Amino acid sequence: MDRVFNFSPGPATLPLPVLERAQKELVSCGGHGMSVMEMSHRSKMYMEIIEAAEAELRELMGIPDNYKVLFMGGGATMQFSCVPINLKQNGKADYIVSGSFAKKASQEAAKFLDVNVVASSKDTNFNCIPDLANAKFDPDADYVHITTNNTIYGTRYTKLPEVGDVPLVADASSNILSEPMDVSRFGLLYAGAQKNIGIAGVTIVVIREDLIGRAAENTPVMLDYKTYADSESMYNTPPCYPIYIAKLVFDWLKEMGGVPAIQAINEMKANLLYDYLDNTSFYHATAKKADRSLMNVTFTLPEPAMDALFVKEAAENGLVNLKGHRSVGGIRASIYNAMPMEGVQKLVDFMADFEKRHG
């Protein structure tokens, strides 16, 4: 096995058992004499896959019955448009800007309604979740939008904002399924699959039923949540194979013990890395301690000039994709559900060795 440890922020590493199962079933799946890739989306065999994917996600996340699960294309970015288009009523929405995806979401929404940025951590280069003490939420806003985990900056909400009756909408692309989330606190949750769910090409939307059906008449059909809700995401051909991979990931996560069990592992992985970072002056963890992400660990070396060497030597040791995002520099280790403890341990060992040689 020549596998590397892949710290990519997304598309990201997948559980090896998922890849091995996909490989085994690739040419012919389940005695059907064809690949999942070749199955008619309306066939019984494929319907079983998409229905199982939904049922398992409902079980894993504890999704209440009054929420629909939608499988959409277009990436999480398409949701930046879908959310305002579908939820617009009074024509205004509150956004908390905690990173560059949150900012992009707010800018896209401004095409469709009045956006009120109630809080932002831009001034500290998004190294924390904005302080909400003085945030003025509009009780007439159509929704409040947050980004539960900020992939680029390595921060996450540890506590949800109190928004009263206004629907809370969350981009959970980079921490869905990493720790329990109380779905009933949200009006809508969305996540691109290419981090904790599976592969790029499908985005999952979990939406409270009463929020469906509000889009204007002239909404593009594939952007209207009602299109998906009314057809079980089968109005047209869904991204069948990405949904199948999601199902395999859900199978794997259930076998791992579900979300609480993976949360415990995620905390061990993150703690190993953060404890190491905190105990050396060579490396510096960039995110505010209270808001540290379990999924994306961002840090710097003594000099930005050392970044390239670190990334190169790490890759030579089978630890790849550690370069921080171009907008912040430094190093980022994305350690999603599928990254095993062994990978994080190997990274810490490498970091200690690198420090010894270059400190």
Ligand X SMILES: Cc1ncc(COP(=O)(O)O)c(C=O)c1O
124 is in an annotated binding site: no
Instruction: State the number of CA atoms in the 13 A half-sphere of 359 facing the CB.
Output: 10
User: How many secondary structure helices (H) and strands (E) does the chain include?
Assistant: 9, 14
Q: How many CB atoms lie within 10 A of CB 32?
A: 15
- Work out whether 231 is an interface residue with ligand X (CB under 6 A): no
Radius of gyration (C-alpha) of the chain in whole angstroms: 21
- Work out whether 241 is an interface residue with a second copy (CB under 8 A): yes
Distance, in Å, from the CA atom of 298 to the CA atom of 59, rounded to the nearest integer, reads 32
- Work out whether 173 is an interface residue with ligand X (CB under 6 A): yes
- Work out whether 77 is an interface residue with ligand X (CB under 6 A): yes
Encoded tokens for 107: 């800018």
What is the nearest approach in angstroms of a second copy to the Cβ of residue 271?
25
Distance, in Å, from the CA atom of 268 to the CA atom of 103, rounded to the nearest integer, reads 31
Q: Binding string to Mg ion for residues 80 to 119, with x set by CB under 5 A, is what?
A: -------------------xxx------------------
310 is in an annotated binding site: no
The phi, psi pair for 312, rounded to 5°, reads -70, -50
Supply the DSSP string of 166-201, one letter for each residue: SPEEEE-TTTTTTS---GGG-SEEEEESTTTTS-TT
What's the distance, CA 89 to chain centroid?
27
Q: How many residues bind a second copy (CB under 8 A)?
A: 69
- Among positive and negative, which fits the CA dihedral 55, 58, 62, 65? negative
Closest CB to ligand X among residues 99, 343: 99
236 is in an annotated binding site: yes
Q: Binding string to a second copy for residues 182 to 221, with x set by CB under 8 A, is what?
A: ----------x-x----xxxx--------------xxxxx
7 is in an annotated binding site: no
Distance, in Å, from the CA atom of 243 to the CA atom of 22, rounded to the nearest integer, reads 12
194 is in an annotated binding site: yes
Closest CB to a second copy among residues 86, 178: 86
350 is in an annotated binding site: no
Closest CB to a second copy among residues 101, 137: 101
What's the distance, CA 93 to chain centroid?
22
Q: How many residues bind ligand X (CB under 6 A)?
A: 14
Query: Which 117-176 positions form the footprint of Mg ion (CB under 5 A)?
Result: 150-152
- Among positive and negative, which fits the CA dihedral 283, 287, 288, 291? negative
Question: Residues at the annotated binding site?
Answer: 42, 76-77, 101, 151, 171, 194, 236-237
Catalog residues that contact ligand X under the rule CB under 6 A.
Answer: 9-10, 75-77, 101, 147, 151, 171, 173-174, 192, 236-237
Catalog residues that contact Mg ion under the rule CB under 5 A.
Answer: 99-101, 150-152, 277, 283-284
Catalog residues that contact a second copy under the rule CB under 8 A.
Answer: 1-4, 6, 8-14, 16, 19-20, 22-23, 26-28, 31-35, 37-41, 43, 73-78, 80-82, 85, 108, 111-112, 192, 194, 199-202, 217-223, 235-242, 245, 318, 320-321
